[in-house]
Amino acid sequence: MKKNIFILMLCNVLWLSCNSQTNINEKYNLMPWPNDIIENTSKFIINSGITISINGEDEGRVYKAAVNFLRRLSNRSGVFIDKGFPITNEKGNIIISFETVSSLSINDDESYALNINNNTITIKAKTDVGALRGLETLLQLTANDDAKYYFPGVTINDSPRFVWRGLMIDVSRHFQPIDVLKRNLRAMASVKMNVFHWHLTDDQGFRVESKVYPKLHQLASDGLYYTQIQIKEIVNYASDLGIRVVPEFDVPGHASAFLTAYPELSSKEDYNYTIERYSGVFDPTLNPTKEITYKFLDNLFTEMASLFPDAYFHIGGDENEGKHWDENKDIQAFMTANNLKTNHELQTYFNIRLEKILKKLNKNLMGWDEIMTPNMPKSAVIHAWRGENEGLIKGGSLISAAKAGYKTVLSNGFYIDRMQSLEYHYSVEPIGNIKLTEKEHANILGGEATMWSELVTPLTIDSRIWPRTAAIAERFWSKKEVNNLENMKLRLNDVSYKLEELGITHIRNRDVILRSITNNQDISTLIDLSKICEPLKIYERNKNGVEYKTFSPFSLFADACVADAEDAVIFNKEVKAYLENSNNESLEVVKKSLKKWSNIHNSFQEIKINSKIKDLESFSENISIASEILLMGLETKKKISLNNQTNLTLAINVLKEPCMDVELAIIESLEKLSQFLLQV
Amino acid sequence: MKKNIFILMLCNVLWLSCNSQTNINEKYNLMPWPNDIIENTSKFIINSGITISINGEDEGRVYKAAVNFLRRLSNRSGVFIDKGFPITNEKGNIIISFETVSSLSINDDESYALNINNNTITIKAKTDVGALRGLETLLQLTANDDAKYYFPGVTINDSPRFVWRGLMIDVSRHFQPIDVLKRNLRAMASVKMNVFHWHLTDDQGFRVESKVYPKLHQLASDGLYYTQIQIKEIVNYASDLGIRVVPEFDVPGHASAFLTAYPELSSKEDYNYTIERYSGVFDPTLNPTKEITYKFLDNLFTEMASLFPDAYFHIGGDENEGKHWDENKDIQAFMTANNLKTNHELQTYFNIRLEKILKKLNKNLMGWDEIMTPNMPKSAVIHAWRGENEGLIKGGSLISAAKAGYKTVLSNGFYIDRMQSLEYHYSVEPIGNIKLTEKEHANILGGEATMWSELVTPLTIDSRIWPRTAAIAERFWSKKEVNNLENMKLRLNDVSYKLEELGITHIRNRDVILRSITNNQDISTLIDLSKICEPLKIYERNKNGVEYKTFSPFSLFADACVADAEDAVIFNKEVKAYLENSNNESLEVVKKSLKKWSNIHNSFQEIKINSKIKDLESFSENISIASEILLMGLETKKKISLNNQTNLTLAINVLKEPCMDVELAIIESLEKLSQFLLQV
């Protein structure tokens, strides 16, 4: 009997725990989702009496984070908090404790324990950075009813899956001012990312002041570079947020900017080196056979290493096709003399020499996965970027690197500039079911989302980074098992608009662009259009007639559109549900959407046309035609007339083609509905 | 006969010129309106072949302005311009010529002549800064038809009425980061303003790094200050835009921050000096009888003067009530010994000593108008801020100062933080019909809009500065006769949204706040409400129960609202037109608006309430009640029933009271309609 009761109780506990786990996922808009969360029945009311005290030898990181926490909480809740700064003479009702100050290395402990009850909140961490992570979790828990804001009672124990959770920003193709970086660093910290990889040089510009080689910023940046003081400002700002900064100086390829300033380092003489204005892979390459190249890089890296305290230093190393090496007789002779059979071997020779320079500077060399060649020292970190699109297997170089004994970081699958969907990025599991030894496993440091900036300016970059990067951040922090797409989307909705309080412009700048495009006419129709259009993906945007330069306009309709077009995502889901399950509720949503779009051209015609929206005219017309015919078909449930079949086909054919650098994100659903109705 | 023809021709020319002048005002969205504009029939088409060349010994100002011009033109027109930078080897189709590089003094020539024809545009100026002013005018002329963008053929000769056209930003009450200042400097330049008055110290913070007295920024800024390098960065950025920077170090009052760092300079011993968190006028005051005070200010001003190349240095000097002076026996003894009868005389003694320090540093002392006392040297510049609200006549101190032989700058009437209307500020004519000698006239340098920051943060400051400051800029630049309010409003509509391309957030951040307030629900109802509500004016916001601190929330409903509430301005105008002239078109607009508002409470109730919007509930309810009753009355043209009269009166009485720090900007119109209908 006792035994039975025990089993019954156990079942109950298990069921409750399982059930509550499901509920919990939907109750709290936490992202990344924590390791362990247990609810209690408390509520900590947010009122003017809220106070914070700090237990630990803080060097400023926790104090600043606490002040920011209070500002954000006050603005979010509307509560006039009495004590705007942490208190020192007594205990706060939020007590933050930690043991040591982090030096921001990959070995740092970022774990924390958060406990909320009616009167007290505690955050306990091994390090100050762990305390910061806990504060962000607490802020994400802010909840409200109709009368007050509060923190719900929970106990959370949390720590990251991977130690390297990065965002790379390319500031060469399009320079990004300090304030763009700062707001993105704030946003990174809010989703517990801890590495800012700063892609500082490329064909389109060298973006750091060099006192040793001043022609670099003077001749190769169009005046758009960071002073050394600004570099330090960003490094300190990131450090305050518990974020490491890894600089990248991309060599030997992607070197047009280097060679614009110092052509004597080049692999081809009598070549007109200039700052590149287009996007792509270009020929200018450092000459790896000249000693002056190493002298130069030694001096430069020595200067730059002093600006970046982090232990890692990224030398790029990607996409060097070696065309100028092939054409240079001296280089060929050097290769023969040194028994270097391929350009790849020559580049390895180059990399190994850089590795020595960096070792002297106490830096670990990191490079894109092309650097992983047989002779490369195992101290190098392999940045795995190539995958299926580059003829390899998905995420393949990560696993090869880990097995070969290299530390490695994954970016394949996280190229957010390619404008692929949230679903795509969220589903990229770095390790998957591959069996690894413990040591191999430890070699996988984590991953980085990469924001290449060929097609973004300060106006649009946030909408290309966010909110998708928050989901990627969860992939890097949370357990592998946290992978329910629909649940993640619900939480992301909340996390996304809250990024606005950190200054992120991903939502607000859409309307700015649309006002500009229409010369400040009513933008509601273009908003509706933008919610079903997505910018062309995977660099297609550069292929359709127009070739973008760095100074081309980036305030066009495509720049107002984003991946995961809001209305399209809903429509596509409901069309699927209707066609697969004859779901009636879905049918109603589908019909409502089609009704709205069948009117879109009418309202479009009320806009006074200009050359920036002219081409959208036929697009909107065909959207309305297709929507109207499909709506009629769904409503009458009768076969579409022959005439309308023709019109529908014509319209869909037009809509399959990109228009003004966007694609219609509902096109597949329209086609499916069309096929379905033809079979009625 | 010949004579008659001549007269006829003359009449024709006069009529045409007069008529075309009227037309011109409505054809071009220029602001400030230029001195002289003549149309021709040309059109300069904006296409990829547009090029700029610069004629003159440019030191970078024109080059940078030209690059920015090309970027803005490209983004605005959508045109992919081939040459993204000024060309040097040949003539551009836009040719900019100037004679000398400005050193940014108040004697600089800012005039320019702009000529546009089919193939060529010329901008000719005496100085590089004049050329910048011409480029902004050219950009404002951008026009389009349905197929292309172009510049219309015009010849413009232009120069400013006043040499001092400023904007003051208070960074003490709320610190404003570098990027806020930069975007506002860009916006200032776009409407030809040329002085940035930087209010750097006040009770709430000392905002500059001092190496001589480091406790100033270390103890009295909460870590929110500009490094000296950042100060230089802003000064250079402003200089590139042809903007002078005048720093203000407010003494001897408004000194809480000074005295938090260096209490030994105070007028009251054993007083707990701390950074002030509230707004208002406070007691802490420097001690003008101690020599260490002058030693301190000498050292500090010497350090600060080196950061600010401008010839003017603002010492504040306002609102010193001298309470601590009265209480200090040593100070009283000093006054007796030196025959200083009043606190005002003591302050004059102080000011005169500062004037000597500044003269040594080659700086002209500038101060708020309290410094204008009989013994004040005539080299001082009087900043006229007091007026009717301070018991003086409107703009009175400006005229007194000019007559007394002081150079003077007007801010009375331009306190944009008071949230008064566009109409109010635009109607402030600095000189009016007052007769002045030529010399007195020349003493009036110009004016400054003042953005005190008690109630603004980086999120909202732009919406308090713009667009009203663009109209004030016109008041400072254009002839006195340019004063047609309705015409100005038309032009301002265009200028306002184009400020967005400079990064100004006055439009976009409204929705950010409303999303935050509603926790990301549908904000359309709150947008509608915000278009008829205005934040409480003239510091009323601090009086209603809640007292704002520097760290209070400023993302409330009132912060989403602006002066000149969009729908209210239209409604009030149409109500007036209907009631005065029985205008039927106006009646239709009035009815349409009432109809919309009669539904506002229905849609408001669909929002899930929280404590940040709870109080708006009864506000929206009463708006709907009043609108519905008035609409019924206007539609039936019958007397309102007794019951409805009571309901209407009750509703209007509620709506007369401020709600959540806003006032209903249509309340007077609702009352007038109510009275009108009671008389039917």
Residue spans of alpha helices (H) in B46-177: 61-77, 128-140
Interchain proximity A507–B507, CB inside 8 Å: no
In this prediction, residue B539 carries a pLDDT of 79
B429 close contact with A: CB closer than 8 A: no
Q: Which residues of A touch B512 (CB under 8 A)?
A: 500, 507-508
B641 close contact with A: CB closer than 8 A: no
User: How many residue pairs bridge chain A and chain B with CB atoms within 8 Å of each other?
Assistant: 141
Q: Is A319 a catalytic residue?
A: yes
What are the tokens at A8?
Answer: 């019954």
Distance (Å) from the alpha carbon of A613 to chain B's nearest alpha carbon: 9
In this prediction, residue A571 carries a pLDDT of 98
What would the mean pLDDT of A415-432 be, rounded to a whole number? 95
Distance (Å) from the alpha carbon of A230 to chain B's nearest alpha carbon: 10
**A364-388 CB burial, b ≥16 within 10 A, e <16:** bbbbbbbbbeeebeeebbbbbbbbe
Of the CA atoms within 13 Å of residue B94, those in its CB half-sphere come to 28
**Chain A contacts in chain B segment 398-427 (CB below 8 A):** none
B509 close contact with A: CB closer than 8 A: yes
In this prediction, residue A188 carries a pLDDT of 98
Among A319, A500, A501, A671, the active-site one is: A319
A501 close contact with B: CB closer than 8 A: yes
What are the tokens at B100?
Answer: 């000398």
Residue to test with chain A: of B64, B455, B551, B608, most A Cβ within 10 A? B551
A80 close contact with B: CB closer than 8 A: yes
Give the Cα separation of B646 and B644 in Å (integer): 5
Interchain proximity A611–B229, CB inside 8 Å: no
Task: Give the CATH H-level superfamily of domain B31-158.
Answer: Chitobiase/beta-hexosaminidase domain 2-like (3.30.379.10)
pLDDT digits (tens, 9 = 90+) for A264-281: 999 999 999 999 999 999
Cβ atoms of A343 and A326 closer than 8 Å: yes
Give the Cα separation of A351 and A302 in Å (integer): 16
A8-12, A373-377, B518-522, range with greatest mean pLDDT: B518-522
Give the Cα separation of A297 and A265 in Å (integer): 10
Cα distance between the two ends of chain B:
62
In this prediction, residue B17 carries a pLDDT of 43
Give the closest of A553, A555, A610 to B144, CB-based.
A610
**Confidence at B543, pLDDT banded by 50, 70, 90:** low
pLDDT higher than 50, residue A411: yes
Residues in chain A: 680
Q: How many CB atoms lie within 10 A of CB A88?
A: 9
Distance (Å) from the alpha carbon of B495 to chain A's nearest alpha carbon: 10
Q: Which residues of B touch A493 (CB under 8 A)?
A: 520
What would the mean pLDDT of B173-190 be, rounded to a whole number? 98
Give the Cα separation of B164 and B85 in Å (integer): 31
A489 close contact with B: CB closer than 8 A: no
Rounded percentage of chain B residues whose pLDDT exceeds 70: 96
Residue A235, judged by CB atoms within 10 A of its CB (0-12, 13-18, 19+), counts as buried
**Confidence at B15, pLDDT banded by 50, 70, 90:** very low
pLDDT digits (tens, 9 = 90+) for B633-660: 999 988 899 999 999 999 999 999 999 9
Phi and psi at residue A316, in whole multiples of 5°?
65, -110
pLDDT higher than 70, residue B9: no
For residue B290, give the 3-state DSSP assignment: coil
Task: Report the mean per-residue pLDDT for chain A.
Answer: 94
Distance (Å) from the alpha carbon of B222 to chain A's nearest alpha carbon: 10
pLDDT higher than 80, residue A218: yes
Interchain proximity B611–A556, CB inside 8 Å: no
Q: Which residues of A touch B546 (CB under 8 A)?
A: 80
In this prediction, residue A12 carries a pLDDT of 45
Cβ atoms of A580 and A568 closer than 8 Å: no
Give the Cα separation of B599 and A257 in Å (integer): 61
For residue A464, give the 3-state DSSP assignment: helix
Which residue does chain A place closest to B81, by CA atoms? Answer: A552
**Chain A contacts in chain B segment 283-302 (CB below 8 A):** none
Residue to test with chain B: of A611, A614, A615, most B Cβ within 10 A? A611
Give the closest of A70, A222, A500 to B515, CB-based.
A500
Which residue does chain B place closest to A48, by CA atoms? Answer: B552
For residue A38, give the 3-state DSSP assignment: strand
Tokens 């064909």 locate to A203
Cβ atoms of B129 and B65 closer than 8 Å: no
Given CA atoms B197, B200, B201, B203 in this order, what sign does their dihedral have? positive
Which residue does chain B place closest to A559, by CA atoms? Answer: B75
Give the Cα separation of A104 and B340 in Å (integer): 61
Give the closest of A146, A515, A546 to B610, CB-based.
A146
pLDDT higher than 70, residue A114: yes
For residue A520, give the 3-state DSSP assignment: coil
pLDDT higher than 60, residue A18: no
Give the Cα separation of A666 and B345 in Å (integer): 77
pLDDT higher than 70, residue A7: no
Which residue does chain A place closest to B498, by CA atoms? Answer: A516
Cβ atoms of A398 and A384 closer than 8 Å: yes
pLDDT higher than 50, residue A10: no
pLDDT higher than 70, residue B544: no
In this prediction, residue A392 carries a pLDDT of 79
In this prediction, residue B639 carries a pLDDT of 85
pLDDT higher than 90, residue B305: yes
Give the Cα separation of A653 and A15 in Å (integer): 52
In this prediction, residue B11 carries a pLDDT of 42
Q: Which residues of B touch A78 (CB under 8 A)?
A: 517, 553, 555-556, 611-612
Between A248 and B392, name the one with better pLDDT: A248
pLDDT higher than 50, residue B429: yes
A494 close contact with B: CB closer than 8 A: yes
In terms of DSSP bridges, do strands A205-206 and A201-202 run parallel, antiparallel, or are they unpaired?
antiparallel
Given CA atoms A468, A473, A474, A476 in this order, what sign does their dihedral have? positive
The 3-state DSSP composition of chain A as helix, strand, coil percent (nearest 5) reads 45, 15, 40
Contacts of A617 by beta carbon, 8 Å cutoff, 6+ apart:
A604, A609
pLDDT higher than 70, residue B601: yes
Give the Cα separation of A678 and A634 in Å (integer): 11
In this prediction, residue B516 carries a pLDDT of 97
Q: Which residues of B touch A555 (CB under 8 A)?
A: 75-76, 78, 501
In this prediction, residue A538 carries a pLDDT of 87
pLDDT higher than 70, residue B5: no
Interchain proximity B78–A611, CB inside 8 Å: yes
pLDDT digits (tens, 9 = 90+) for A278-324: 999 999 999 999 999 999 999 999 999 999 999 999 999 998 989 99
Is the peptide bond prior to B252 cis by the omega test (within 30 degrees of 0)? yes
In this prediction, residue B474 carries a pLDDT of 98
What would the mean pLDDT of B273-302 be, rounded to a whole number? 97
| CA distances, A370 to each of A23, A345, A429, B167 (Å) | 45, 11, 22, 54
Domain B164-509: give its CATH architecture: Alpha-Beta Barrel (3.20)
What would the mean pLDDT of A428-454 be, rounded to a whole number? 95
Which residue does chain B place closest to A459, by CA atoms? Answer: B503
Cβ atoms of B451 and B465 closer than 8 Å: yes
What would the mean pLDDT of A632-636 be, rounded to a whole number? 95
Contacts of A12 by beta carbon, 8 Å cutoff, 6+ apart:
none
pLDDT higher than 50, residue A386: yes
Closest to B318 (Cα-Cα) out of B194, B412, B416: B412
Residue B277, judged by CB atoms within 10 A of its CB (0-12, 13-18, 19+), counts as middle
Domain spans in chain A, listed from the N-terminal domain onward: 31-158, 164-509, 510-678
Interchain proximity B76–A516, CB inside 8 Å: yes
Cβ atoms of B328 and B268 closer than 8 Å: yes
Which residue does chain B place closest to A558, by CA atoms? Answer: B78
Cβ atoms of A228 and A208 closer than 8 Å: yes
Phi and psi at residue B533, in whole multiples of 5°?
-115, 145
In this prediction, residue A120 carries a pLDDT of 98
pLDDT digits (tens, 9 = 90+) for B228-242: 999 999 999 999 999
